[in-house]
Amino acid sequence: MAELAAFTADHVCRLTGVSARQLRYWDKTDFFSPTLLDEYKRRAFGRIYSFRDVVGLRTIAILRNRHRIPLQELRRVGAWLKDRHDTPWSSLRFALNGRMVVFFDPEMGVAVERRGAGQQVLPVDLEPIANEMREAADRLRDRQPDEIGQLRRNRYVVHAWVVAGTRIPTSAVWHFHQAGYSAEDIIKEYPRLKLADITAAIDFESRRRSAA
């Protein structure tokens, strides 16, 4: 997960099922904004989401699409998750009482409010949703065959040129090469890379630096 500790809006849409339009609107209206926004707001890729944000948005998407929970209740869920940003997933749970949300205290495991007594309660645990998103995020890292040996410009990475399908800058490969690392040694540092990636990155950086 090291390379995907932060997620772009495109990543979030692919992982959660929330549309790009909906994501922008929720951010604009302060319904759900990226936790890491302040850290990156002066850069071109300012809308960066944390893994906690991804899980929160996936949870809201499930409640919205599967259970038709109204917006007012979804806002409460978003605020509740933000307030418990450091709480382990295994401790976070709430329940659906009809179309209303009932939260449980993470330490005591009891409902902190009683709403709509007498209706059937559907428990919702956050840990399974977090595990689902973790597995989906791992799949984002899978590289396609046509990406091997290719380089890309990536506006979400400070170093503009990266090895296709990764966030590994070509300059990082070059610096290892200059330090005397063999291709095999570089691959030990970056296990996702192939020999063709190393060759392409070194050739590219050599040409770029010769032309400078």
Q: Which tens digit of pLDDT belongs to each residue from 102-115?
A: 888 877 766 776 66
Please say if the pLDDT value at position 73 is more than 90.
Answer: yes
**Which pLDDT does position 11 carry in this prediction?**
85
Is the pLDDT score of 194 beyond 60?
A: yes
Q: How far is CA 193 from CA 3, 179, 204, in A?
A: 13, 18, 16
Predicted pLDDT of residue 107:
74
Please, which pLDDT band fits residue 17 given cuts at 50, 70 and 90? very high
154 vs 168 pLDDT, higher one: 168
Stretch 180-195: mean pLDDT:
93
204: its two tokens: 């590219």
Question: What is the DSSP code string of the chain?
Answer: -GGGSEEEHHHHHHHH---HHHHHHHHHTTSS--TTHHHHTTSTT--EEEHHHHHHHHHHHHHHHHS---HHHHHHHHHHHHHTTTS-GGG-EEEEETTEEEEB-TTT-SBS---STTS-EEEEEHHHHHHHHHHHHHHHTPPPGGGTT-EEE-TTSSSSEEETTS--BHHHHHHHHHTT--HHHHHHHSTT--HHHHHHHHHHHHHHHHH-
Residues carrying CATH 1.10.10.10, the chain: 145-211
Averaged over 45-72, what is the pLDDT? 88
On average, the pLDDT of the chain sits at 84
Where does CATH 1.10.1660 sit in the chain? 2-140
For 145-211, which CATH class? mainly alpha
**pLDDT tens per residue, range 79-102:** 998 888 888 888 898 989 888 898
Q: Is 50 exceeded by the pLDDT of residue 3? A: no
**CATH for 2-140, among 1.20.120, 1.20.58, 1.10.1660, 1.20.1280?**
1.10.1660
The band of 44, judged by pLDDT with boundaries at 50, 70 and 90, is very low
